[in-house]
Chains A and B, each alone.
Chain A
Amino acid sequence: MDQQIVKSARLGEEMVRIKHRSGLNMLLCPMKGYSTAYATFTANVGSVDTGFKTQDDAEFVDVPEGIAHFLEHKMFENEEGDAFERYARTGASANAYTSFDKTAYLFACTGNFEQSLEILLDFVRRPYFTKESVQKEQGIIGQEIRMYDDDGDWRVQFNLLAALYHRHPVRIDIAGTVESISKIDHELLYRCYRTFYNLNNMVLCVAGNFDVDTVLKVADRVLKPDEKPVEIERRTVDEPDGVCKPLVEQKLSVATPLFEFGFKGRAGAPRENLKNQVLDELLADIIAGEASPLYRRMYDAGIINATFGSEIMAGRDYMCAIFSGESREPERVAREIKEEIARMKREGIDERMFELCRRATYGRYIGMYSRVESVAGLMAATYFAGVDDIYSLLDIVADATVEQLTERLETAFDETRSALSIVRPLDE
């Protein structure tokens, strides 16, 4: 068993990284004084993984959109019943989610940690799919998809991604479509499971009120030793550099138009993406954060409100910067942002704004190390990005320079690779 302690001088804290003999990677961060323990068991698969093979497969398999999310739903059930019923006996609050490139199973508890962890490590290792249970789930997920069809915030984001990307599957709803999930069957689910749910490719992250020995004890008991590693090859899509279309609009039952204005970035290796994500967040704050002259101009003109904000979305092989909110004049907001970026490119990044936003971002990142959920989330994110030190994100912020950001401004905020998505009220 390989064990390594990672410390932060800035925070006076530490966590431990363990490679368990089963092959499972564990990141453990006990936090003194907390009542809650929060555990996530994460597979490196999400909605963008629509074509893949292992070293043992001759051919790539193309799977229906939404299968990772479907698999997540189905994992909770096996011959003996469902995992929620088992958690019910420990009092843990359990859940799971699928993102573009991850699937996480999690629980939070304030007692019975050992039993809850045992359930987590057990049920995610025991797939059980039948034709009937798959059919039933198609109905449930169909309702979930329909619920999101009415959700303006959700629609405006996926419409944007479909405008930014021509072919990359990040443009498709995480849950897929009613049509795509109708093509899912139990055999495809097993294939997906065997490919991605190998312990060597998964990570267990625990933060909060627990001790490391308990985790090791449960892992020793539940996980079979020495699982054979799987090498995964993912089908890459040939995604053009430019955007698919610069403007996309939809009408829905909303009061004020919603918009997302995005810049398609150029993704690098996962490690580089994570670092760039931190830098781009800082940069978006300088461009249009609450302390910026641009924010003030737009707020005073009444074209943005307090819902305005920015987000950097980065994953395994995609990256984009998004400004979003409600606005009566979304096109004008997009124009103002483009003009401000052009001005910054001409005149350079203001040193004082850089210092202010760096300080603010530093404070915000401290916040990510103080909640059990976000510590567990950070551990998983850094792990899959190939970053060993979860505390290094603070260093990226503390050590950021104007030169770095100037370079990012050119690549990540390129006006010729931007798109605007608008959801308008029905009566407009």
Chain B
Amino acid sequence: MNDRFQRESIGDGVWFSSVTDPKFKHNRISANLLVGLESETASVNAALPFILRRGCRSCPDFTMLNQKLCELYGASLSCDVSKFGGYQVLELSIYGIDDRFTLDNAPLARECAALLCDVLLDPKLSDGAFDEQDTALERQQLVDTIEGQINDKRLYALTRCKSLMCAGEPIAVDKYGSIPDAKAITARSAAEAYRRVVETAQVELFFVGSGDPAEAKETFRKAFSGIRRSPAALEKVQTALRADRVREQTDEMDVAQSKLVMGFRTGEIKDRRAFGGMRMMVALFGGTPTSRLFTYVREKLSLCYYCAARFDRLTGLMFVDSGVEKQNGRKAYDEILRQLDCVRRGEFTDEELTATRLLMQTSLEAVGDSLSATEEWYLTQIVGGAQYSAKDESALLDEVTREDVIAAAGQVTLDTVYFLTGKEAE
């Protein structure tokens, strides 16, 4: 079921993709700028979507811009920076109701596309610099965001484990960069980064919704035709396929519940079938409420409040993360590895395999019910060099056998163990 997804080039390294479905009541249009993650540029790049969100030449005042969005029936103009494998993705998107549901038949999809295009490509620049105040505010916000990463201990521990594991590689670079780099951003350095990104990034534009994407496509095609593009080829992100030894790191922090994260490498994945096997193995091991980790480590042994495994399809890394009482850390570690060994030896039932497949298929089939999930799905596909639909992947899982799962588990190696623990009892 690939019929609704369309993708075409509308400029040098500029792609426009659309998925339209009349069941939706909204349209979501987004611009994603893909660049390689580098520690030197990560911070200044990360600030760009947020500086751009402050206003554009056609709507230079932040409050005016937000009022304009109210007029567009509360359309939301969002900006974000995310990490796909070793790439940094700078995103600006607009999400609004379809023209059919306005009280006055306003051409909302067209106006939303035009506004998004202005915000991306016609910013408030003067004398080769962004507005000083906008830059100062967003610089501080970025610093706060980086410092604030510690608030979510689960995510913090996971990120920390990943960066220990891939030290020196693009995968280890934080999507927001570092505090010193963020503090060094100026109105001029941001404008230079903006020009570089707009000229060189791979640009992936999306229109997902019930409206007609044609006008949005023309708007962006025209706007990009005025830009001298020299897209830089995105280097394929690579990290070691196997771990040669196990590294351990423990950090102490003021927390009531400790976090244990284990990073694994999953080896070479030869073909689609092997990929399906790996995905199912990780899910069976720790990705569902019936998985080995949930059933044994959490439910039967009550060692953790959560214990889950996830697979990053773009880097081939697998992480197990758990929230655990400090004194149970070692026990949880042993049990997690014991469960992985069970999967390696094929000590799981056919019912477990079926349950895993069905649950994964439920979430894959549901992708098409959400605008943002649809967009994220295809963006991940594109970054990974493919164009399969979620339904294709659901069908792939039907072919995966017990042997594929065992083989997948057999090529997984433990690389890094990270333990975030509470300080000694005070």
A residues with CB within 8 A of B: 10-11, 31-36, 84-85, 88-94, 108-112, 136, 139-140, 143-144, 146-147, 149-150, 152-153, 208, 252-256, 258, 289-293, 295-296, 299-300, 302, 305-306, 326, 356-357, 359-364, 366-367, 369-372, 398, 426
Contacts and interface: CB of A to CB of B under 8 A. Distances in A.
Given A33-B21, A33-B23, A111-B362, A147 B66 contact: no
Given A146-B257, A370-B25, A361 B74 contact: yes
Nearest to B78: A306
Contact of A94 (B23, B73, B137, B289): B289
Nearest to B354: A89
B77 to A, nearest CB: 9
Contacts of A150: 153, 255-257
Contacts of A326: 144, 148
B96 A35 contact: no
Interface string B103-121: 1000000000000000000
Most buried by B among A10, A31, A305, A398: A305
22 contacts: A33-B22, A35-B365, A35-B366, A84-B290, A88-B355, A89-B355, A92-B362, A146-B325, A150-B153, A291-B70, A295-B63, A300-B137, A305-B141, A305-B144, A357-B70, A359-B71, A361-B74, A362-B73, A363-B73, A366-B26, A370-B24, A370-B25
B313 to A, nearest CB: 20
Contacts of A143: 257, 302, 304-305, 323, 325
A298 to B, nearest CB: 11
Given A32-B23, A356-B70, A356-B71, 6 more contacts: A34-B23, A35-B366, A91-B358, A111-B365, A254-B150, A367-B25
Nearest to B358: A91
A364 B101 CA distance: 11
B351 interface: yes
Most buried by B among A110, A139, A292: A110
Contacts of B323: 143, 147
Contacts, number: 170
Contact of B133 (A31, A149, A258, A300): A300
B370 A366 contact: no
Interface of B: 21-26, 50, 62-63, 66-67, 69-75, 96-97, 101, 103, 133, 137, 140-141, 144, 147-151, 153, 253-257, 289-290, 298, 302, 304-305, 323, 325, 351, 354-355, 357-359, 361-363, 365-366, 368-370
B81 to A, nearest CB: 12
Given A31-B23, A36-B366, A362-B74, A255 B354 contact: no
A405 B85 CA distance: 49
B188 to A, nearest CB: 21
Contact of B69 (A34, A89, A360): A360
A34 B369 contact: yes
Contacts of B26: 366-367, 370
Given A143-B305, A147-B323, A293-B63, A35 B141 contact: no
Contacts of B355: 88-89, 91
A302 to B, nearest CB: 6
A110 B63 contact: no
Contact of B62 (A91, A299, A357): A299
The 9 closest A-B pairs by CB, nearest first: A91-B358, A33-B23, A360-B74, A363-B73, A363-B74, A88-B355, A110-B365, A356-B70, A255-B147
B97 A36 contact: no
A190 B22 CA distance: 48
A42 B24 CA distance: 27
Contact of A256 (B21, B63, B144, B361): B144
A149 B255 CA distance: 9
A109 B362 contact: yes
Given A32-B23, A253-B253, A305-B144, A85 B290 contact: yes
Nearest to A112: B358
A146 to B, nearest CB: 5
Nearest to A362: B73
Contacts of A90: 358
Contacts of B149: 255
Contacts of A144: 305
Nearest to A110: B365
Given A140-B302, A363-B74, A398 B103 contact: yes
A252 B151 CA distance: 9
A378 to B, nearest CB: 14
A258 B144 CA distance: 12
A150 B24 CA distance: 39
A41 B70 CA distance: 36
Given A89-B355, A305-B144, A140 B73 contact: no
A253 B141 contact: no
A93 B351 contact: no
Contact of B361 (A88, A91, A293): A91
Contacts of B101: 10-11, 366
A84 B25 contact: no
B25 to A, nearest CB: 4
A293 B63 CA distance: 7
B256 A359 contact: no
A421 to B, nearest CB: 16
Most buried by A among B67, B75, B254: B67
A110 B362 CA distance: 5
B66 A291 contact: yes
A88 B257 contact: no
Nearest to B370: A371
A371 to B, nearest CB: 7
